[in-house]
Amino acid sequence: MLGQALGLAVALAGLSLGQAQQVPVEERTLSNGMKLLMLERHHSPTIAGGWVVRVGSVNERPGITGIAH
């Protein structure tokens, strides 16, 4: 019985992985080049944020150095 339930769970999980879900993400770019990705979720009246800053030696070029420090 447990084996059958486990097999069914694995089969159903495989079905859900095979179906790509479209997520309506809105992208905006500010005048300073910062990109915002927004996703509305009306069932949760909260705002969460995070960001990635592309700084470091890999992002520097001659004449523009030291941004990461």
The pLDDT tens digits for 27-50 are 888 898 888 888 888 888 887 777
Listing DSSP states for 31-55 in one string gives: TTS-EEEE---TT------------
pLDDT at 34: 83
* Average pLDDT value for residue range 45-67: 77
Domain ranges of the chain: 23-69
Give the residue with greater pLDDT, 18 vs 56.
56
pLDDT at 24: 83
